[in-house]
Amino acid sequence: MIKHRGFPGRLPGTDFQFTIRRANPKGATPLTRRERFRDRRAPDKRADAAFMAALWAQFGTEPFERGNLDAGRLSWLFGREVLPYDDPFDPEDYAARLIIDEAAARAAFPEAFEGEGWA
Question: What does the alpha-carbon distance between residue 1 and residue 89 come to, in Å, rounded to a whole number?
Answer: 16
What pLDDT is recorded for position 51?
92
Residues of the chain short of pLDDT 70, as ranges, are 115-119
| Contact indicator for 61, 102 with CB cutoff of 8 Å | yes
What pLDDT is recorded for position 117?
41
28 within domain boundaries? yes
50 within domain boundaries? yes
Question: What does the alpha-carbon distance between residue 11 and residue 21 come to, in Å, rounded to a whole number?
Answer: 15
Number of domains composing the chain = 1
What pLDDT is recorded for position 102?
93
What pLDDT is recorded for position 112?
79
Environment class of 119 (CB within 10 Å of its CB; exposed 0-12, middle 13-18, buried 19+): exposed
5 within domain boundaries? no
3 within domain boundaries? no
4 within domain boundaries? no
114 within domain boundaries? yes
What pLDDT is recorded for position 105?
93
Domain that holds residue 83: 10-119
108 within domain boundaries? yes
What pLDDT is recorded for position 119?
36
What pLDDT is recorded for position 21?
86
